[in-house]
Amino acid sequence: MDSNHFQIVSESLSQDRGVDERTFASLSVLAERLERLKELDSVFSGVGFSPDVEALQRRKNAVAIA
């Protein structure tokens, strides 16, 4: 099953859906894709996630440590 990772993360950020394991899985996929883009061309080196997505990533990391 191919899901729309951007939509899942977006809906989690807007609180249209809960933040769950699927949210964090989608966030991981998007982070991997962004890293691949950065490796392909330096034009993408300055591209990053929004502060809200970065906060969501930190939340994931906090859950993983706890």
pLDDT digits (tens, 9 = 90+) for 27-56: 999 999 999 999 999 999 999 999 999 999
Give CA–CA dist 52/9, Å, rounded.
10
CA 62 distance to own-chain centroid: 15
CB-based contacts of 8, cutoff 8 Å, min separation 6: 17, 22, 23, 26
Mean pLDDT of 4-26: 95
Share of the chain above pLDDT 70, in %: 88
Q: What is the mean pLDDT of the chain?
A: 89
pTM of the predicted model as reported, rounded to 2 decimal places:
0.82
**Angular region, 10: left φ>0, alpha ψ -120 to 50, beta rest:** alpha
Provide the residue range defining the domain that includes 9: 5-65
The answer, yes or no, to whether residue 1 has pLDDT greater than 50, is no
CB atoms within 10 A of CB 9: 24
What total of structural domains would you count in the chain? 1
